[in-house]
Chain A
Amino acid sequence: MTESLLSVEGLEAWYDESHILHGMNFTVGKGEIVTLLGRNGAGKTTTMRSIMGLVRKRTGSVRFGAVETIGLSANQIARAGIAFCPEERGIFSSLTVKENLMLPPVVAEGGMSVERVYELFPILKARGASQGTKLSGGEQQMLAIARILRTGAHLLLLDEPTEGLAPVIVEQIGQIIEKLKEEGFTILLVEQNFRFAEAVGDRHHIVEHGQVIDSFERHEVEANREKITGYLGV
């Protein structure tokens, strides 16, 4: 494994009184695509939201590069260079496509130029003046990914980017994720769709009851297919 960019140790999190994460442990190496797999309610999204600082009550350690982020607020964590693409895309209906795209502030140098973003996602240029939520589901997903590429963040948290999308769109999203990896982005991916996850992921962590209960490198997937599908209940 390469040098780790994100390292999560003993992460626990609560929503009000419910204890959701019970000590998550995993690392994401620089330039890797790492997936969190698991059934509904296992704690994958809560893990993402905890890393991002959106779950108020959390303990343990989340180190991003040399920075310990467990005590930081969401905006400070984002400024440190982590970008978030939430479940259900989070496109703002009161903003145009262009405004949605330009919304996240630049947090570091080296982000994609707007021209490059338009090259990857030509539809966003053509539909720039439309209301954000007037785009199709697939286009909204493209927009949700596109807008965090401009910011200069190097770690992207993608929460179920294929949810509810047609297979042809899922394939496009897969190609985009591959391209992002080539460009040096590090990606932590939450997925329900295991076929998609295994196609793009370098490493997979199985999450159950708020813990990582098993992990597989890309080359170990084939030999453990039955075990993995057992975990996921597919």
Chain B
Amino acid sequence: MQKPIISFKDYTYHYRSQAEPTITNINLEIFEGERIIIVGPSGCGKSTLAHCLNGLNPFSYPGKTEGSLTICGVEADKSGIFELSQYVGTVLQDTDGQFIGMTVLEDIAFAMENDCVAQEEMIERTKAEAARVSLTEKLDAAPHALSGGQKQRVSMAGVMVNEVPILLFDEPLANLDPAAGRDAIELIDKLQKDGGKTVIIIEHRLEDAMHMGADRIIMMENGKIVNDTTPEELFLSNKLIEAGIREPLYLSALKYAGVALTKDMHVERMQNLALTDENKEQIRKWFAERSEKPPVEEKPEVLRVEDIHFGYTPEKENLTDISFSIKEGEMISIVGKNGAGKSTMAKLLCGFEKPGSGKLYLKGRDMGEDTIKERAEHIGYVMQNPNQMISKPMIYDEVALSLVMQNLPEDEIRERVFEALKICGLYEFRNWPINALSYGQKKRVTIASILVSRPRILILDEPTAGQDFRHYTEIMEFLKELNEKGYTVLMITHDMHLMLEYTNRSLVFSDGRKIADTTPEKLFSNPELLKQASLKETSLYALAEMCDLPPESYIRAFIEYDREVRS
């Protein structure tokens, strides 16, 4: 019998600042060379578990422990953060925030510098690590010159210079676009196979994390481990749905078609999936029964962008020749990799930046001369992180802020704040302090604080970034409700589920140009376009191909059916 490299025995962790223990009675053994994925909704204790492994608990975030945790034969509580870092290398979620050095070279060498390794040896080892993550050409690059995926690779190299036996990834996909996320998982797979490392990945995007497979999936809920099995066993059960975790799309598709899942189907990965002709016939039959949705009627135009050119500096154009038109009541996703010009486009629409040339029309009227404030009455802009907008301790005050600034009479302010709070489902909370709210509720507060100005168009930057399935659904269903009330909603996003499930049109940006204006279904059936947008194929596409169905119509049929089932 193999010896476990990590072993939790009746382990409980209780933060000093919390009333209740965050994780309780954890019993878990992880063996050398295993790949483990830990899933669970936000607040289930998976990050706490990770902090216990790398020593941030209890050495940086003090707390009480019960039971025992041994890592590589060392009692974790009696060790220290530095000793544990020799066994567990941690790659954090925030790709930018964990970049310590001024350049790639320095960041990779950081741990060795702290260990007083001699310079020549350091340079040699740094170069070797950089080569392993294919960053040799970028050694002198500063963090702002790197993409999110590259920064993450630097972090991986930075923890691997110490030859740690265990690699711990805390939500490695949260800050990456889908294509970069797929590359990251493939790289983790390669590093593990080459180096025989034990890999622990904490991630709620299960299908993406499973891209290269896993030995076990640990599911957590309310601070406890509720399931610890192979992916196959987990997928054959209904436990994911019960726990509110999104199951891989191809699994849902099979279930909708009434295909009975069995062990010989190899359901753990789409790449391994083996369907019998009978199964395929079931899926084709299901598809044939789905009817096409009638086309939506044409609404009047609310926004038109014509031949926009823009550059932050005269030397470089960030947007080239952009034109599009948006109809009232549309729900649109703006997609493309980082730096493609999506956010810049939003800034131009809000008037934060002025275009070099070209015109912007609001309901047919040229709004080029309108100030930021004037545009804000028509177009509301919601930042990605609600903490970047909230500046008042109380909900009412925060939502009222912009009206107070305009010195409106108090009655009118109250009336409009209440109206916005009601739209956002926050009316009961109006006298609450903001810090008592969840992330999703805070997001609603920021949206309410925009809606008081009564704009009819909303632009949201990454509305669901880093959210688990429940929060994702909560935020998106709310936005859909707003959309049904007649608001036009534009979202900048990397989230493929969001595009597919909630938008009827996608504008694809690449290198400052608009390279496509199409439906999400068409986008996801066009591999070439997906590559340019730094997205990846969904498993539905592969499934449709497997069953000889037209991918575009199949994806549409699935999404529509899925919506019906879930609502």
Question: Are A and B a genuine interacting pair, yes or no?
Answer: no
Give me the interface of B with A, judged by CB distance under 8 Å. Answer: none
Q: Which residues of A contact B (CB under 8 A)?
A: none
